[in-house]
Structure 1
Amino acid sequence: MVSLTLNLLFFFVFATIPFANSQTPTPEAPAPASSTCNGIFLSYQYNGGSQIKPTDPTLQPYSFKSTLTVQNNGRDELKSWKVFVGFQNDELLVSASNAVLADGTTLPAAVGNGTVFAGFPMTDLKTAIETAGDDTQTSVQVQFLGTQFGVPLKDVPWPSNISLANDGYVCPATTKEGSIMFVCCTRDSNFKTNITLDEEFLPRQNGDLTIMYDVIRTYDSSYWAQVSIANHNPLGRLDNWKLSWDWMKEEFIYSMKGAYPYILDSTDCIYGPQGKYYGELDFSTVLNCERRPTIVDLPPTKANDSTFGLIPFCCRNGTILPPSMDPSKSTSAFQLEVYKMPPDLNRSQISPPQNWKINGTLNPDYQCGPPVRVSPSQFPDPSGLPANKTAVASWQVVCNITHPKGVSPRCCVSFSAYYNDSVIPCNTCACGCPSNTARTCSATAPAVLLPPQALLVPHENRTAMSVAWSALKHRAVPNPFPCADNCGVSINWHLFTDYNRGWSARITLFNWQETSFPDWFAAVQLDKAAAGFEAMYSFNGSMLEMDGVNNTILMEGLPGLNYLVAETDGANPQKDPRVPGKQQTVISFTKKNIPGVNIAAGDGFPTKVFFNGEECSLPSIYPTSNSNGKGSTMILSILLAAVVVLLIQQ
């Protein structure tokens, strides 16, 4: 019995050895790419798409779905995360979960040139160390839904790249595997910062314009916030500002002080979830229930109103001046009472609005970033005691002047000089032209030179004068005639005198709009000749340093004369043209200690001109001098004669 058992055992062992040796070892599953990253791991996964209407073989639209993952595998908390996604297929992004566009654009939006996303509502990503590896606190996923053009379903509509947009990180080239693109971004050892990593909040940032959203009182279902707008750009300005944002959690504005909604409307609340939850609330007193409200400033008459005013820096008709003009008028502020919705019904659950946008009537364009949590602001105690009161929570929005592609200026410049009796007018369509001008005027033909008196009348009254002047000067007139400049404000820079030791210019401002400009200002940049600025006789003038270069002259009206009136009717409106508002001054310069300056050749004409912060369109040519032309012709004739003589002698 024992021998039988041993035989069976040996048979089993020897029978299984060949079988075991014949097995192919199963390779271990490769570790996820994120597991080898000790920094910020980013991945972009294409989840699929479908062809959508209309059918267009040349530019077929396809829907797409994709997922962006941001995971903090490092040792430092990632505050206010931002990621660039290099969309490159004319994508139109319809929705994005857990993120907003960092430039403040509201979805849907065209993102075909790439865009930066900022986290919302989860703005900060903690580390695995401080959360014991809790993925819900260390990572976030953004689900994209949109439309792309031209990439068929068999291919993946890849972005050009993905990278972390936070300062202090460096990202190598991305890697693709299947339908996933990923990259590991690490700390840049060469990046210098004065931020300590254990600080609770990010430091306040600099910008052309900053907006503070300070929560000053909070309750379970509502809170009061103060919004402060501060201008930091020496040439930045806002007139009749309009401020807008997006509520992300169904909040609504119950009351305000120091400003007011552009539209008073509680309809969305009455027919929405707010009306159901706040069933006993009188919505007739609610100011605004729009998801994207627009806020405007109040007139000065409301500054001391006990209901609408009594807020420092409020009620200035939406005018925010540059600090170089008047620091006390470079800030605007207002307060608003905000009602919240479930599940955010506790005192500490506060979400700031997103997608901020601010603009004025004839001012620079601003692009605003997302609100960033900063240390609570402090305000003087309203009791008058020598103490400061701290806000409950504070967020900062940084806005910078931008020049959007395709957006035309809103002011223009003409050039003239004492040595030429023709004026080089503003460029054709300098401030844009309607799309249907082809039958009436040419949007591409260069502007026709003008007699000086033509600057005083509107463009529609200049045609006959321009044609007659061209005939007198034996110049051809384009057919069709060039379109107008279509600018609300035009500026004439006239080279007045030029002599051995100095020179002078005359600048004239024309307002062709129906709106006047109180506290106006203008600025000119003279790259070479500005250092010789001596005096301005009818305006206040001063030198202004821009970007470390002292070549800008700032000018504003004298006290009591700083009002550029609107265009008005002529003496006889039936036959006389309308009359623009205008102001004028002469500016004198010296040539001392400015070697090589050539005023007539271009040094006496500005390279940039600003009006109320808006950069104006400039002509591309300067007035020419007849004497200079004769001299050039004579020199050319002498050289040509010399060449002929040499050829004859050979």
Structure 2
Amino acid sequence: MQIYFNFDALFFFFPSEAYDALDPSGNITIKWDVRTWTPDGYVADVTIYNFQQYRHIQAPGWTLGWTWAKKEVIWSMLGGQTTEQGDCSRYKGNIPHCCKKDPTVVDLLPGTPYNQQSANCCKGGVISSWVQDPANAASTFQISVGGAGTTNKTVRVPKNFTLKAPGPGYTCGPAKIVKPTKFLMPDGRRFTQAMMTWNVTCLYSQFLAQKTPTCCVSLSAFYNDTLVPCPTCTCGCPNNLTHPGSCVDPDSPHIASVVSDHGKTNSLAPLVQCTSHMCPIRVHWHVKLNYKEYWRVKVTITNFNYRMNYTQWNLVVQHPNFDNLTQIFSFNYKPLTPYQNINDTAMLWGVKFYNDLLMQAGHIGNVQSELLFRKDKSTFTFEKGWAFPRRIYFNGDNCVMPPPDAYPFLPNSGIRKNVSLIMLMIILLLSVAFHFGHV
């Protein structure tokens, strides 16, 4: 593989682009390299690079589409295939792989015969995020195009690129001709150059991806008995009459048959456990312990979706104390610095072969870890919700936080003093009673 390289809304959406405040330069780039000319066109390598730090393309994978500028056809492909052949009736003998004006391409599956593969293909369309697994952050297929022209002056770039990964959410800009890519030969001593190269940049918008949120956050703390749940109806309502049967009661004796029956229909639509929030994913942040020099947090991610095992899940958390993170247990960690030198954002993900798979809803449908922070005396406090995160993303989507006025509050100093005085009086009375009882 060759790779070149407050609680307000997190995304600002414009007609043709999207912006992620915690990954401002993240995008998916489609690079189209014309490697050789043929009698009626060219052979090209098409590579999809995921330059997003934490948002990956999960199963069932990417789907790439475009519209030809002229009357091009696809003679053959390696490492990918079109979903339809189209009308090739005008051809006799040698029939093209696809004759559609607007072809749609998907990746091949693992285990594809070697003679049908291209370099860095055949992963079922799954592409990892750039930070989590850079070695698998790209996908490539090779395409032989006819009726396209055979020189830089006669070839026309395709139009109207679309990317679904696996559903909507990405908006792609126009193809732009760029400086031809250079490729290092296998001997490592010589470079070759593409005949022609163009790039397409695609940006993600959560608003386009789904109408409702996909995750929520609940909160608790050792210093308060209040459990702050996810806001009611965050991702939908359990008694929604327009979507009957959209959730499953975990205590139902027929739960196994319900889940299996629904699994035969639309595998992309979540089938969630009935809760007050109706979200597929809940993240719980618990302020667990307070030491003299440190404080400790427990993070639990629970999967309420009966249709999804989240492979290579990740969590992005923004909190001002991440610059003082001392230790993290059972999760991987990498600091992100979207605001230059301010280290207040962390990316967390599971340890391979241990907890990198977040199982579907059920008694094992959760993963958890603990974070140990060193106290910064200039900023540390448990008051006014400071110990709770500012933002949380799950798999790149912004999770809904409870309203700040509902956070578990720290009892004020007056209450703490009164409690301490009462305890002191009880101790003194017990001491007096003990003394006179043994005189």
Give the counterpart letter for 1:490 in structure 2: R
Post-superposition Cα deviations, 1:313-372, rounded to whole Å, max 9, x if no partner, equal 2223323223322321222211112232xxx5544422222222223248x933221110
Alignment of 1:627-638 (within 5 A): 627-628=411-412, 631=415
Superposition deviation, residue 611 in structure 1: 1.9
Give the counterpart letter for 1:588 in structure 2: L
Q: Partner residue of 1:351? A: 156
- Paired with 2:48 and 2:74, the residues of 1 have a C-alpha distance of 19
Could you tell me whether the CA contact under 8 Å between 2:385 and 2:408 is conserved in 1?
no
Question: Whose Rg is larger?
Answer: 1
- Paired with 1:612 and 1:225, the residues of 2 have a C-alpha distance of 32
Which of 247, 264, 269 aligns to 2:87? It is 269
Superposition deviation, residue 588 in structure 1: 0.8
Which of 365, 369, 393 aligns to 2:196? It is 393
Match of 1:254, SS state, is: strand
- Paired with 1:114 and 1:504, the residues of 2 have a C-alpha distance of 40
Q: Partner residue of 1:524? A: 317
- Paired with 1:627 and 1:412, the residues of 2 have a C-alpha distance of 26
Q: Partner residue of 1:598? A: 381
Alignment of 1:137-536 (within 5 A): 208-239=27-58, 240-261=61-82, 263=83, 265-266=84-85, 268-270=86-88, 275-276=89-90, 279-283=91-95, 286-302=96-112, 305-309=113-117, 311-340=118-147, 344-348=148-152, 349-361=154-166, 365-381=169-185, 384=187, 386-404=189-207, 407-431=211-235, 437=240, 460-461=249-250, 484-513=276-305, 514-526=307-319, 528-536=320-328
Superposition deviation, residue 296 in structure 1: 2.4
Which of 359, 370, 373 aligns to 1:586? It is 370
**What CA RMSD, in Å, does the superposition of the two structures yield over aligned residues?**
3.4
- Paired with 2:248 and 2:228, the residues of 1 have a C-alpha distance of 14
- Paired with 1:281 and 1:115, the residues of 2 have a C-alpha distance of 46
Distance change >3 Å, CA 253–CA 428, structure 1 → 2: farther
Alignment of 1:47-62 (within 5 A): none
Q: Normalising by the residue count of structure 2, what TM-score does the alignment of the two structures yield?
A: 0.73
Alignment of 1:79-118 (within 5 A): none
Distance change >3 Å, CA 413–CA 298, structure 1 → 2: farther
Give the counterpart letter for 1:369 in structure 2: G
Could you tell me whether the CA contact under 8 Å between 1:409 and 1:431 is conserved in 2?
yes
Superposition deviation, residue 536 in structure 1: 0.7
1:545 aligns with 2:337: yes
Q: Partner residue of 1:610? A: 393
- Paired with 2:242 and 2:172, the residues of 1 have a C-alpha distance of 40
Q: Normalising by the residue count of structure 1, what TM-score does the alignment of the two structures yield?
A: 0.51
- Paired with 1:371 and 1:483, the residues of 2 have a C-alpha distance of 45
Post-superposition Cα deviations, 1:130-149, rounded to whole Å, max 9, x if no partner, equal xxxxxxxxxxxxxxxxxxxx
Could you tell me whether the CA contact under 8 Å between 2:206 and 2:397 is conserved in 1?
no
1:561 aligns with 2:368: no
The count of corresponding residues between Structure 1 and Structure 2 is 368
Give the counterpart letter for 1:398 in structure 2: T
Superposition deviation, residue 433 in structure 1: 6.4
Higher relative contact order (CA 8 A, sep 6+): 2
Superposition deviation, residue 116 in structure 1: 7.2
> Which structure 2 segments of 5+ residues have no match?
1-12, 18-24, 253-273, 419-439
- Paired with 1:243 and 1:433, the residues of 2 have a C-alpha distance of 34
Give the counterpart letter for 1:551 in structure 2: D
Could you tell me whether the CA contact under 8 Å between 1:372 and 1:397 is conserved in 2?
yes
> Which structure 1 segments of 5+ residues have no match?
1-112, 118-205, 442-457, 464-481, 569-577, 635-650
- Paired with 1:353 and 1:551, the residues of 2 have a C-alpha distance of 42
Distance change >3 Å, CA 413–CA 580, structure 1 → 2: farther
Could you tell me whether the CA contact under 8 Å between 1:525 and 1:608 is conserved in 2?
yes
Superposition deviation, residue 532 in structure 1: 1.9
Could you tell me whether the CA contact under 8 Å between 1:221 and 1:347 is conserved in 2?
no
Distance change >3 Å, CA 293–CA 485, structure 1 → 2: farther
